[in-house]
Each structure stands twice: as structure tokens, then as C-alpha cells.
Chain A
Amino acid sequence: MEQIIKVRFSANGQHPELDLDPRTTLLDALREHLRLTGVKKGCDHGQCGACTVLVNGQRINSCLSLAVMHEGDDIATIETEDSAIIAALQDAFIEHDGFQCGYCTPGQICSAAGMLDEIRRGVPSHVTKLLGEETIQITDAEVRERMSGNICRCAAYPNIVRAIMQAAGAVP
């Protein structure tokens, strides 16, 4: 006899109640149960970043998190229509051709949204020159370092960086 657990979280503003096998990852809950297939499965092991979503504003690999851990959480995926920065990134990715096959793209965009927020909150990275500074500049180097958990095998990297810099400038 298998256990089924009820879980309810907000997904792009919707609040479905899900009856889930407790082994279900947040990624599979979104893709297979809520049909939010904009969230991608690239490795299922936290190694590629394609499954990145925002949980309470913070970026996570949804494949490394069980859905039942997210009771009451506020989850935003690439399908959200309620984020100025994600909308700006979406437009900028098209303008700068920040993708080819498109499979890593939702993860890149959600990751970029979370990443920009981390910089603004003063979270340092490996390339941050001065720790403890009030403001960390959004530079190409910071973006490259912080986005390195999102693999793009088509290697749109230079275009992605341009798109992120444009969106960061457009949405304060």
C-alpha cells in the first residue's frame, strides 16, 4: 500500500491541491501533475539547471526538492505572467538570441531572475571583489559566475549575458 500525501502550494498564482506520491519531486509535480511543462528536466540530478524555478522568490533546482516540502510555498515558473523581471528577460532573450534549442531557456530565465535579486540583496559570489560592500555591481563577470549552474549546450552564453544585462538595466 502506497502512501499519498496532500500538498497545496501556489504555482504562478494558482492554488491546486495535489495528491502526490511522496517521492514526487517538485519538478515532476509541476511537469506531470500541473502540466507546467515550461519547467524542463535535463538531468534530474541538480547538474544542469534546466529545472530552475523560483520558490518564494529564490531560485532552486526543482529536481532536487520533493513536492511535499513545499506546502504553502509560492512558486513561480517560466509560465508566470506576474513578474516584471521575467517578462523583461523573456523579451531580451529573444532580442539577443539567448537560446537555440530552447530547452535550457526557462531555467536560464528563472535563474537569472533569482540571480539578479541575489546581487541586489548583496549576496556575494566567487568573483565579488570586495565582500561586505553595500552594493555589488551587476557585471558580465558576476553574471557569468552566478549563472554557471545553468548549462546551455547550444552555448548561447555570450547572448544570454547580453540579454541579462539589458533586462537588469531595464527593470530596477
Chain B
Amino acid sequence: MEYDTPIAQTLIDQERLVGKPLDRVDGPLKVHGKATYAYEHHVGDRTAYGFIVTAGSGKGKAAFIETASAEAMPGVLLVWTWKNAPKQADPTMPNTVPQLHSMDVMHNGEAVALVVAESFEQARAAALAIAIQYETADGAYNFSALKGTGIVPPEGMFKPETQAGDFEAHFPTAPVQLDVTYTTPNQSHAMMEPQATLAVWEDDRLTVYTATQMANWTQNTIAATLQIAPENVRVVAHYIGGGFGSKLHVFGDAILAALAAQALRRPVKIELTRSQIFNHTTHRSPTIQRVRLGARKDGKLLAIAHENVVANLPGHHFFEPVALATTFLYGGAHRRTTHHMVELDLPESASMRAPGEAVGMLALECAMDELAEKLGTDPVELRIINEPAQNPEDDTPFSARKLAECLRHGAALFGWEKRNKKPGQRREGRLLIGHGMAAAARGNLLMPAKSEIMLTPEGRLVVKSSMTDIGTGTYTILTQIAAEMLGLNPEQIDIQLGDTDFPAGPGSGGSWGAASSGSSVYYACEALRQKLAALAGMGADARFEEGLIRSGNRSKSLADLVGASGLSATGEIKPGKTEKAYTQAGYGAHFCEVAVDADTGETRVRRMLGVFAAGRILNAKTARSQAIGGMVFGIGAALTEDLVVDTRYGYFVNHDLAEYHVPVHADVPDIDAVYLPELDDKANPLKAKGVGELGISGAGAAVANAVYNACGVRIRDYPLTLDKIMAGLDGG
């Protein structure tokens, strides 16, 4: 069903279970080590182990490969290179990721050989024995040197250029002007479970147990690459050890495990090593962002431009949509956003948690802080002054927007009025203490989703969808929705996810998972309620309570009604007219206190608060956790995360978790996140919006603004590492 008109009152509105802080239903499995991730499935004792060799050069050719010694090593079952790997779809065909198909190396980290052996140790040893000589080509690796060569990418999911009014005419006449350029580095998802796949063939049907956020996309990509029918590929992903965008795509582990399992007629499993992940898979593009803000003296914005340079491999059209939030966050009649893409021969740029907002707001929200200082206006007030009545680019109404409420509520909770407005004024021994804030915004999406439910003769409800739970809490919120709708207890619900043999769910990405899959379950439950009421001879007034259906003084047990074979129903949702008719987003406000060591330049976050409004919150506990997780991603982006390019040889140098610095326990204080009540009936029948990416949006800017307030050093080149802060402190 297409979601064309906002829904009225629903059964979800009673919030008997929905919204409550129910413990994760998959929690007991996870804390006891019983949740099974891709590499851990057991399909008999004949499983062979694969180990991929990835390209050690940048752009070039894997011209000479010597495999004889590897082939002769104990336990080795198969050695493949571009010379003898099975034929796959042409890489120019859509949705394909053929491996070992040519001697050409497009970028460091591509698969150049595969070894499969009886044991992991044998496969790894043989992989190390393969000798490869590369012919290197002149590659484009230096983003900042090539920033002027960017081209406008084609419009895909996002628009590379937007505008309203006439920015160029009105910016120069604005009484107060800001023109600043921020840069953000390459970033890596660094999820905890590496990409891994176990492949098993039965006759001509392939089953892959794989770490994926998108079971159906993965099914289609594997089928297209292997040139087989999608229905002959079953993808299973019951538990996924973190996503953040890292498992949206299909990589060498899945394709090569599938091909090797077919060739050897036995199960094969392959896991990428941690050090392979950074160059073999995807990452977030670096950005160069010029932000120009023109305002009246009272703070009202007249002109906004956000012009960006990003990067990707030649032939890849995905671009980091840096200016997404800029298009709707603040008012101002004259505006423009642009994106230019530089072609680099580095690993592929793709989505990472909140593509667009996560890095775009690092610049926009610091620029707003800079403008507030120029104007002598409180940064919170500056944002409230610039609240637009409707989308300032296309004039569509906002579906539900509580940015001002989040800002005010957060400022009060945090004690914002107690901060020092002038930078560098508060000192505790060696520590300079500062406070910063930033707005949060993340566009809301709805994706097509289907699910099937069945009430069993025992009175249990089974819910099936290929939707995934990457740690977001899908198992739990679907339990709450189904139990709410049918008057059952959470213990009576069995959620089965992550299997393409089930109806197609939306997958986990873009924060659309909960609302999209939850809506499909909502409609399935509505359908099942109607069937049950008809069976019971009851009308629309039937109530579902405690495993019974009731009407007037009559009641019947659901288990009795469904008989021996159970009773099923399906539910489906697709985006409809409300998608285009309204600008839909979640909003929030971040507040942060940091201490900067005046002697070492070391920054420690001391406390942080996020206040958000994102429609109905489906589970208060898991939604809070997601917000905190996003905010910590923001701390990493602000202070430490930087995937460094070797511009001579074309690869990411710090390709492990010791050198790519994600926040650890000691970096994270007692952060809190609060949601304001909101219902967004334009978004979907649940009236809920995405929360998984809202928490990161703007978070790092609040940290950076706090650093500036602490020590008076404004750094526009992320991350804000000690060397940059020290240079600023020395200069001042």
C-alpha cells in the first residue's frame, strides 16, 4: 500500500507496549554468545576455508603471479587468480561485482588471488606464499591537489546542485558575511564484525550466510555477478555485527566463497581480515566544503551557499551528499548547494552512517557558530531566529519539526546559559574548559517493505521478513508492534528476520528500517485482525486482549479461531504522496563540554547531551542507545578519525583498529540522549521517523565548537588533533 494520506488514530497510539523501554528480545542470545553471525553457521564438517590476497599496489596490473608453490602446500584445494577464476558477469553490467576478472588493478585492496584449503591456517599460509609483481600506473590519489578537477556527478538518489533565489546577487550585499572552508578526511565504518560469508550449494541453489545490511540487494548482486537467477540465491543474515553502511554492498568474500563452494562442491567460508577491510571495501569520501552565510545584523540569514568537493573511483556515481541538511535546515531566500566529484584511484567511496549530514553538518554547524560570534548572538538563538516556516528551497511544508523545542529544552537541561561566551576564559589547572552546541537534522525515508505474519494454533504470532537487525533493535520493535496490535505479550511473538526466503523487507540503511519494516508488520496485523474478527463473527468493534478477541460480552480464544493450520496475513508499504508533499526529517540539538589541555592540546569530552525529536519513539531504551552511539561517532569524527592516504602508492595507510582511531571507553563520558514527544503522521502509519543516523548529525560540530570555546582555536580541518590545536595555541 502506498502511503498517500496521513493516517488518523491507530491502535499503536494506545502505546501499551510500543514506546516502552522493553529489553532487547535478542539480548539473552547476544550476552550468552548464542547469536549466530555469518561465519559461525555450522553446515557440516566439510567446510573449507578461503583466504583472499588483496592488491598490494595502487592502480596498475597484477602482471606476474606465481602460484605453483602455494598450490603445492599442504591442504590447499584451490588457488585462483585472474588467469583461472571462473567467468562472471562483465563489471560494466549494473549491480555486479566480479572478482579476479582481469589483471587490471583499479585500486589497492582489490582481490588478486584466492586460496581455499582444508584449514584457515593452511589457506593463510598458502596465500602468503603467492608471489605477485605489479606494474603500477600513474594513479590519481591526492584529493586536495586535484580538488579543481571535480565534475558534477549525475543525479541519482541525491541532487548534486540545488538553488533558490539568487545567491550570487545577494550574498555580497549582506551586512554580515562569513566565507569559510572546512575539510573532512576519509572515514571508515570500522564495524566490529568483519565482512564474512559461508557459501553452500545444494544442486543449483546457493545459500550464503553473510554479513549484510540488505539481504535482497545482496541476493540480487550475487545473482547478477554469478549470472544465475535471484531465486537460486538465498541470503541468510540473522545477526549482523554492526553496519553503519559497511555491509550495504557485496565484496570479495561473498562472491569468491560462492564460486569456490560451487567449484569444490563443498561449503566454503571466507572472512576479510581486519587489515583488508579498509582498502578492499568502502569508506566515506573526504570533503572540501565552502560555506558562505550572509545575514542581517539581527541574525536573519539572507543568503546560504554550501559548495562541496568529494571523491570516488572513476565510473562510480555515488557522491557524498554533503549539503543535504543545508537545503532545509535554515531559512534564507537566496541559496545554493553544489557537489563536484574528483575521480581518484582509491577504494570506493560509499555510504557511511548519515551520508551527507554526518560531514556536511561538521561544516555548516561550525559556520553557524562562527556567524553567531560575528553577530554577537547566542548560537542557540541564532538557530531559532532562522527557523523557516516551510522548506526554504521548494516551499513544501514540514511534516513535523521540533528543532526549536529541542534547542530550548537542551539548553535548559545542559545549563547552556552558564557557559562563558568568550573563548579561553575558564581554566582548571592545565585544562581549558569550553562549551559548544550544534543542531541535528537527518532526512527521513520510507522504503518498500513486506512482511508475513502467522498466528499459530498455540496462539503464538510468527513474523517473517528479510529485514535485518544490525544492532538497531529491529527484533525488539517488531515484537512490540505485533504484540500491541494483537493484544499479545512480547513473549508470544517470534520475529524471524534476515532470510530472503521471507517477504522482502527494506533492509537496514538510511535509518528507514524500523519505520518501513514496522509499517509492513502494522498492516499485516491489521489484515489479520480483520480475518480473525470475520472468523469470530464480530465487527470492527472487536478488541484483542490477552490472547482473546472480544466484542460486547462475547469473547473467543485466538488459538481456537485459527484452527490446526494457523492463520496468516501479509502486509506491505510503499512510499506514496506524503513523501514528496512534505519535507520529512528528524531534528535535535547537541550540547558538549570539553577540556583542552593547554600544554598538550589534548581534548577530552567531559559531558554531552543530545535532545531529539523524531516522531514516535518505538522503544525508549534502544532508541536512546542509538542516539548515544551516533553522538560517539560524532566524537570520533571531531577528534580522531582520519583514514590517511599514501598519495605516492595510493592506499589507506592506517588500515587497522590500532591506527584508525575510533572512540574507546576512556574517550566517552556519561553521555545522555533525550527524545521529545512527537508524532509524525506524514511519515508512515507508525508516525515514527529514523533515529539511527540523527545522533551523529551535528554531534562532531558541537564538540568542535566546544573546543573553540575552550581555547579560542578554530580548526577547520577535521579531525581536531593535538598538533592542530597546539599550533593554534602557540600562534595565539
Contacts and interface: CB of A to CB of B under 8 A. Distances in A.
Nearest to A90: B31
Contacts of B274: 42-45, 47-48
A12 B628 CA distance: 34
A102 B239 contact: yes
Interface stretch (A54-62, A116-124, A137-145): A137-145
A160 B665 contact: yes
Contacts of A147: 665
Contact of A148 (B23, B33, B664): B664
Nearest to A46: B658
Nearest to B671: A158
B230 interface: no
The main secondary structure of chain B at its interface with chain A is loop
Interface stretch (B467-475, B484-492, B531-539, B558-566): B467-475
Contacts of B671: 158
A37 B36 contact: yes
Contacts of A44: 273-274
B69 to A, nearest CB: 15
B628 A158 contact: yes
A161 interface: yes
A130 interface: no
Contact of B192 (A40, A143, A149, A157): A40
A8 interface: no
Interface string A8-39: 00000000000001011000100110011111
B623 to A, nearest CB: 10
A42 B35 CA distance: 15
Nearest to B40: A37
B621 interface: yes
B103 interface: no
Contact of B33 (A24, A37, A42, A97): A37
Interface in B223-260: 239-244
A2 B76 CA distance: 12
B658 A103 contact: no
A24 to B, nearest CB: 6
Contact of B473 (A48, A93, A100): A100
Contacts of A160: 665
A152 to B, nearest CB: 7
Contact of A50 (B121, B192, B670, B672): B192
Interface in B609-666: 621-622, 624-626, 628-629, 631-633, 656-658, 662-666
Contacts of A161: 665, 670
Nearest to B673: A158
A144 B668 contact: yes
Interface in B173-198: 189-194
A171 B656 CA distance: 36
A95 interface: yes
Contacts of B3: none
A172 B626 CA distance: 32
A97 B275 CA distance: 30
Contacts of A93: 27, 31
Nearest to A35: B42
Contacts of B717: none
B30 interface: yes
B665 A150 contact: yes
Nearest to A155: B632
A104 B33 contact: no
B17 to A, nearest CB: 17
A32 B34 CA distance: 15
**Chain B CB within 10 A, most for which of A41, A90, A106, A148:** A41
Contacts of A37: 33, 36-37, 40
Interface in B123-137: 125
A153 interface: yes
Given A23-B121, A43-B657, A102-B471, A153 B33 contact: no
Contacts of B31: 78, 89-90, 93-94, 99, 102, 105-106, 109
Contact of A143 (B239, B241, B665): B665
A161 B581 CA distance: 44
Nearest to A140: B670
B41 to A, nearest CB: 9
Nearest to A160: B665
A100 B658 contact: no
A95 B242 contact: no
Contacts of B189: 153
Given A24-B121, A31-B40, A32-B120, A102 B657 contact: no
A88 B609 CA distance: 29
B241 A103 contact: yes
Interface in B663-689: 663-672
Contacts of A64: none
A94 B31 CA distance: 8
Contacts of A41: 39, 194, 271
A2 B664 contact: no
Nearest to A77: B33
A101 B239 CA distance: 8
Which 9 residue pairs of A and B lie closest in terms of their CB atoms, listed nearest first? A38-B33, A101-B471, A103-B241, A102-B30, A100-B471, A155-B632, A78-B33, A43-B274, A37-B40
8 contacts: A23-B121, A45-B274, A101-B243, A102-B30, A102-B471, A155-B628, A155-B668, A158-B628
Given A38-B33, A140-B670, 9 more contacts: A41-B194, A44-B273, A79-B34, A89-B31, A93-B31, A97-B23, A102-B30, A154-B625, A157-B664
Interface of B: 23-24, 26-37, 39-40, 42, 74-75, 119-122, 125, 189-194, 239-244, 271, 273-275, 470-473, 621-622, 624-626, 628-629, 631-633, 656-658, 662-672
